[in-house]
Amino acid sequence: MKGQLIAFVGCMFSGKTTQLVTLTKKAEKESRLFQCFKPKIDVRYAENGIVSHDKQSVKAQPVASAREILTFLERTTEIVIVDEIQFFDQSLIGVLQSLVWQGKVVYVAGLDTDWRGRPFGPVPEVLSIATQVYRLQAECSVCSQPAVRSQRIAQSEEDIFLGTNEYEPRCLQHFFVPNLEKTNNSQISLQAIT
């Protein structure tokens, strides 16, 4: 029996992690065995837990790499939940495919685009192999229209900059990429995306 791969993607504050926590509660009610994983780099709310912005949480195993998921996976686990998939490398694809071929139901969540509005990490490939994709939206912090991007408001040009107060959900009309001419990471200078 083959499993499934269900992905929740969207900008920050769109409810991706809340979806995962809700799924764990449903699994508990149905007495289904599940395990949750998250990248070790994400320590914003809890080192050993998946925590939503509205403080809903579930215990999770932090892993340094996607391959460690297979190391910690228990044979009897039916449901595998992986949060913040954008922080993993391309090896995540093979790990997820392996889990699905083992008959596991796999739920993943992550940002589909980075602070520049570009595809983030392995997420595009995950979407291409997912059996179901849910693209979630937040409310734009400027106009309350559907938000599809994460606007970095912190003064940092690091590719990965963890935080919650440093970002806002934005619609395409109010999302902009700061001038990147001075960065070594980019050959382009984008003032706005409208």
Residue of 78, 84, 139, 168 with catalytic role:
84
Contact 10, 16 (CB under 8 A): yes
Residue 84 catalytic? yes
CA distance 49 to 59: 4
Beta strand extents in 40-159 (DSSP E only):
49-51, 57-59, 61-63, 79-82, 105-111, 132-136, 138-139, 146-147, 149-152
DSSP state for residue 16 in the 8-state scheme: H
Round to whole Å and give the CA distance between 172 and 156: 21
Say if residues 146 and 173 touch (Cβ distance below 8 Å). Answer: no
Catalytically annotated residues:
84
